[in-house]
Structure 1
Amino acid sequence: MNKEEQLVMSFRNLYNKMVWLNNSRMKDSFEDYKSSEVHCMEYIGRNADSNVTKLAESFYMTSGAISKMTRKLIKKGAVESYRKPDNKKEIYFRLTEKGQEIYKIHEEMHKEFRERDKAVFDQVTEEQLESMLGLVEKYSRHLDEEIKKQGADIKSE
C-alpha cells in the first residue's frame, strides 16, 4: 500500500473510530432521534433560512430524502416549516423549542468530544494544522470536481 492509500485508509479509520466512540453517547442522549436527524437539526440551528436544497447539498443526500427527514422532525415536534412573506413558494425550516433543547445538548456533546480529544491537538503545532487543513481542502475540492463530472452540483463546506 502506498502513502496515498495509507492516508485515505487512515481518514476512513479515524472517521469510523470517531463515529463509534460518539455513537453510544448520541444514542443515550437522543434515543428518539437518528444521528442524521440530530445533525439535520444542528444544521438548521446554525443556518438561518434552511431549506431542502441547502440541507441536501450539505448532507450529500437527495431532496426527497431530506424532505422525508424534515417531515419526521416536524412530526416529532423538533422542527417547524415556514414561508417568507415575499416568497410564498419556498419552504424553510427552523427549530422549535424542543429542537432548540436537542441542539443545545448536541452542542454540549461536541464540547465533551473536543475536550476528550484535546490531548492530541495540544501536541500539534499551528503549522502542522495549517498543512493538514490545506491537504483536506485540496482533496475536498478534487472530490467536488469528480462529483460534478458525474452530473451532481454540490457546494463544498
Structure 2
Amino acid sequence: MNKEEQLMVGFRELFNKINWLNKPKMEESLKGYTSSEVHCVEFIGNHPLSNVTQLAEGMYMTRGAISKLTKKMVKKGLIESYQKPDNKKEIYFDLTEQGKRVFQIHEALHNEFQNRDKVVFDQLTEEQFTGILRFIDSYNEHLTKEMNRQDTHSK
C-alpha cells in the first residue's frame, strides 16, 4: 500500500472510530431527530439568515432535498421560515426555541467529544498543526474544484 492509500485508509478508519464512539451518545441525547435534521439545525444555528440555497451548498444536498427537509423540520417545530420585508422572494430559516435546545445539546456533545480527544491534539507541535491544516486546506480546495467540474459536466 502506498502512502496515499495508507492516508486514505487512515482517514476512513479514523472517521469510522469517531462515529462509533460518538453515535450512541448522539442518538440517545438527540432521540427523535434524524442526523440530517440535527446537522441542518447546526448549520442554521451557525449561519443566521440561512436560505434553501445556502443550506443546500453547506450540507452538500440538493435544493429539493433541503426543501423537503425544512418542511419536515417546520412541522416538527425545530425551525421557522420567514421573509424579509424588502425581499418577498427569498425564504429564510431561523431556529425555534426547540431548535435552539437541539443546537445547544449538539454543541455540548461536540465539546465533550473534543475534550475527550484533547490529549491527542495537545501533543501536536505548532509546526505539525500547520502542516496538517495546510494539507486539509489543499485537499479541500482540490475536492471543491472537482465537485465544480463535475457539476458543470452534469448540466
Indicate the TM-score class for this superposition, using the shorter chain for normalisation. Answer: over 0.9
Please report how far the alpha carbon of residue 111 of structure 1 lies from its aligned counterpart in structure 2 after TM superposition. 0.8
Please report how far the alpha carbon of residue 59 of structure 1 lies from its aligned counterpart in structure 2 after TM superposition. 1.2
Please report how far the alpha carbon of residue 18 of structure 1 lies from its aligned counterpart in structure 2 after TM superposition. 1.2
* Unaligned stretches of 5+ residues in structure 2: none
The residue matched to 1:16 in structure 2 has which SS?
helix
- Asked if residue 33 in structure 1 is aligned to residue 33 in structure 2, the reply is yes
Which residue is equivalent to 2:77?
A: 77
Query: How many Å separate the matches in 1 of 2:8 and 2:59?
Result: 20
Return the TM-score normalized by structure 1. 0.93
Please report how far the alpha carbon of residue 17 of structure 1 lies from its aligned counterpart in structure 2 after TM superposition. 1.4
Which residue is equivalent to 1:45?
A: 45
- Tell me if structure 2 keeps the 8 A contact 1:51–1:92: yes
Return the TM-score normalized by structure 2. 0.95
The residue matched to 1:88 in structure 2 has which SS?
strand
- Asked if residue 131 in structure 1 is aligned to residue 155 in structure 2, the reply is no
- Tell me if structure 2 keeps the 8 A contact 1:78–1:95: yes
Q: What RMSD, in angstroms, separates the aligned Cα atoms of the two structures?
A: 0.9
Please report how far the alpha carbon of residue 69 of structure 1 lies from its aligned counterpart in structure 2 after TM superposition. 1.1
The residue matched to 1:150 in structure 2 has which SS?
helix
Which residue is equivalent to 2:148?
A: 148
* Unaligned stretches of 5+ residues in structure 1: 153-157
Query: How many Å separate the matches in 1 of 2:72 and 2:106?
Result: 19
- Tell me if structure 2 keeps the 8 A contact 1:26–1:35: no
Which residue is equivalent to 1:155?
A: none
Structure 1 or 2: more helix by fraction:
2
Query: How many Å separate the matches in 1 of 2:83 and 2:35?
Result: 27
Count the aligned residue pairs.
152
Deviations 1:89-115 (A, max 9, x none): 100000001101111111111110011
